[in-house]
Structure 1
Amino acid sequence: MSLDSDVIVDRRRIRRKLTFWRVLAALVVIAAIVTVAVVATPAGRGAFTTSGSIARVKIDGLIRSDSGRVEALERLEKSSAAAVVVHINSPGGTTAGSEQLYDALVRLKAKKPVVVVVEGLAASGGYITAIAADHIVAQQSSLVGSIGVLFQYPNFSELMKTVGIKVEEVKSSPLKAAPNGFEPTSPEARAALDSLVKDSYAWFRGLVKQRRGMDDALLEKVADGRIFTGRQAVELRLVDALGDEKTAIAWLVAQKNVKPDLPVRDFKLTPRLGDLTFLRTAASFTLDALGLSVIARQVEHAGLVQAVDRLGLDGMLALWQPAGAN
């Protein structure tokens, strides 16, 4: 009986040791994957060194406040990169996030030549980002503009009447937390929102007028919320030239005395693990292979949660989206 007990204890001890070494092996593999991703890829190398080169920065997707991105641009500002090419493909985002990014690029521009290349889209907050540079290049079929601001919110008051639900509240003043989406928007609340939108719109217009050197007549023509193709945008002085990255670099060489033979290296603005989908997938696969399926599922779920989180945009928006898009 005592022998059987000793065997059971030994087996448990062996199991615990095996689990420990599995976890340790998983951590080592994940660390190796991260190291390879950050050091071996062009983006990773660019995050560490831009010496004797032109830094390539990419602004993709929705724009919102991001202190990590600002810190990365500050590092780039202090680096030995000769110049910066900013590639933009964004429909905009929050006005606060767009303003934050604009200010960071303006500070960068004070230290290094900055040129923008519009790849597919630089609309609304994306265009706020673009005008931080002194020179904007766009492809002929790029979409540019959407100068305007909006405040959107869902209203469930009719649905709640249908299902028989009523939300009651006690608040300090009529405009506190208005609109709330659970009751019809009052004229006073709508007027308050209208004031916010108009004030932000005036700021946006003033920025475009100042940065693009427009008179009032031209500003009225371009600032009605519509978007323009790259070809149209050149005529309207929203962009400076048609072309691509080579066109942008040629401008840097001609106007900013940048050496023509400098390599262009990617500079990763936010090298966060959460943004590297392939790393998450590799980590999940590794954990599965080591028999740690529960942890693997948690890794995959974390990616899903982050993807859902990106759908939420809070505050005033400088955002363009086609009609019917969700």
Structure 2
Amino acid sequence: MATTADDLIDRRRLRRKLTFWRVCALLVAAVAIIGAAVALFGKEFGGKSVDHIAKVKIEGTILEDEALLKVLDDVRKASSVKGVILSIDSPGGTTAGGEAIFDAVRSLAAAKPVVAQVGTLAASAGYMIASATDHIVARKSSIVGSIGVLAQFPNFTGLMDKLGITLDEVKSSPLKAEPSPFNPTTEEERAMLRSMILDSYDWFVGIVADRRPLTRPEVLVLADGSVFTGRQALANKLVDGLGGEKEAIAWLSSKGVTGSLEVIEWKPKKEDAGWLFSKSAAQAVGQAIGLPGAGADILRESGADRLFLDGLVSVWHP
């Protein structure tokens, strides 16, 4: 009996030791996971829970991007975000995309101070988005402006004639699916497009007149498609100051945001759903024209992604 009792006591001791080491192992694993998460995600993991200034980058061709719109909405809802810097470097893009982001920025600006910091370029729809903020800062040599709207479409009729190709079609009315790259453009088709473009242009000019310290006639003088340096834009009241992130933070400080707060960038969760021409779409186009796997990067870096924009666009083509 004594031996049996000793065995029971030893077993209980062994179980307690095993339980202790199991708990220790779980704690070590938890600490390791948390440490790895902090190392990998850094500010994304814990920094956003404390008061900070949010930075959102808007780069490349402007599209109606759900990932970007969600980021702007998340920033608006975050109580830890005390001020926002929109870092803009864009030649513009689709008019509808600029409109969607403009509305999202206005909604954000109603909740907390927002400043635009222009890098190399904020033109067309890029400038439209910048005008949605409460204050615009640009570099002295930044390119700003190109207020306007356009529609572009190819004309393949000459090529079709050389190849002996004709197009037969039956449609309900003359303007259905026009203008078409397979038919010469008629004056009625141009008049239809011109009416749409002028309506969107009138809306764009109204936005700038409403958001900037300029009268509508003053905006119309500037809204001939011209681009300006940052210094010229300041003189024309298209921007409010010259500088970079430091000056943007200084303006936020004047609105009650503590200047010593850390600036943390907010990004879309999926990198492939960014503000540029999507990688998947660019890869598809690249493959279609015989480019290798890196074709997507070539298209985006060269600006050729803009060739595939559809509908009315507000973009500056360098």
TM-score, with structure 2 as normaliser: 0.77
The structure with the largest alpha-carbon Rg is: 2
1:287-306 aligned within 5 A = 304=295
| Contact 1:274–1:303 (Cα < 8 Å) also in 2 | no
Structure 1 runs of 4+ with >3 Å offset = 35-39, 301-311
Aligned-partner residue type, residue 230 of structure 2: G
Shifted more, 51-60 versus 305-314: the winner is 305-314
1:234-245 aligned within 5 A = 234-245=234-245
| Contact 1:86–1:116 (Cα < 8 Å) also in 2 | yes
Q: For structure 1, which runs of at least 5 residues remain unmatched after alignment?
A: 1-34, 281-300
Count of residue pairs the alignment pairs up: 263
Establish whether residue 70 from structure 1 lines up as the match of residue 65 from structure 2.
no
Who is 2:312 aligned against? 316
- The separation in 1 between residues aligned to 2:107 and 2:256, in whole angstroms, is 20
| Contact 1:47–1:267 (Cα < 8 Å) also in 2 | no
- The separation in 2 between residues aligned to 1:203 and 1:112, in whole angstroms, is 26
Percentage identity across paired residues of the two chains: 46
Once the 2 structures are TM-superposed, how far is the Cα of residue 187 of structure 1 from its aligned partner?
0.8
- The separation in 1 between residues aligned to 2:162 and 2:262, in whole angstroms, is 63
| Contact 2:234–2:241 (Cα < 8 Å) also in 1 | yes
| Contact 2:38–2:45 (Cα < 8 Å) also in 1 | no
Who is 2:81 aligned against? 81
| Contact 2:67–2:273 (Cα < 8 Å) also in 1 | no
Establish whether residue 267 from structure 1 lines up as the match of residue 266 from structure 2.
yes
**Change over 3 Å in CA distance of 1:96–1:48 after alignment to 2:** farther
Who is 1:94 aligned against? 94
Once the 2 structures are TM-superposed, how far is the Cα of residue 94 of structure 1 from its aligned partner?
0.2
| Contact 1:55–1:81 (Cα < 8 Å) also in 2 | yes
Q: Deviation string for 1:62-90 (max 9, x for gaps)?
A: 00111121112111111121110000000
| Contact 1:46–1:268 (Cα < 8 Å) also in 2 | no
| Contact 2:76–2:111 (Cα < 8 Å) also in 1 | yes
Q: Secondary structure at 2:247's aligned position in 1? A: helix
Who is 2:189 aligned against? 189
- The separation in 2 between residues aligned to 1:135 and 1:149, in whole angstroms, is 24
Establish whether residue 56 from structure 1 lines up as the match of residue 55 from structure 2.
yes
- The separation in 2 between residues aligned to 1:105 and 1:235, in whole angstroms, is 25
1:143-292 aligned within 5 A = 143-254=143-254, 256-269=255-268, 271-273=270-272
RMSD (Å) for aligned C-alpha atoms: 2.6
Aligned-partner residue type, residue 259 of structure 2: P
**Change over 3 Å in CA distance of 1:197–1:38 after alignment to 2:** farther
Who is 2:110 aligned against? 110
- The separation in 1 between residues aligned to 2:106 and 2:269, in whole angstroms, is 19
Q: For structure 2, which runs of at least 5 residues remain unmatched after alignment?
A: 1-34, 280-291
- The separation in 1 between residues aligned to 2:38 and 2:167, in whole angstroms, is 50
Establish whether residue 129 from structure 1 lines up as the match of residue 129 from structure 2.
yes
- The separation in 2 between residues aligned to 1:96 and 1:105, in whole angstroms, is 14
Q: Secondary structure at 2:84's aligned position in 1? A: strand
Q: Secondary structure at 1:246's aligned position in 2? A: helix
| Contact 2:147–2:205 (Cα < 8 Å) also in 1 | yes
| Contact 1:46–1:55 (Cα < 8 Å) also in 2 | no
- The separation in 1 between residues aligned to 2:75 and 2:135, in whole angstroms, is 19
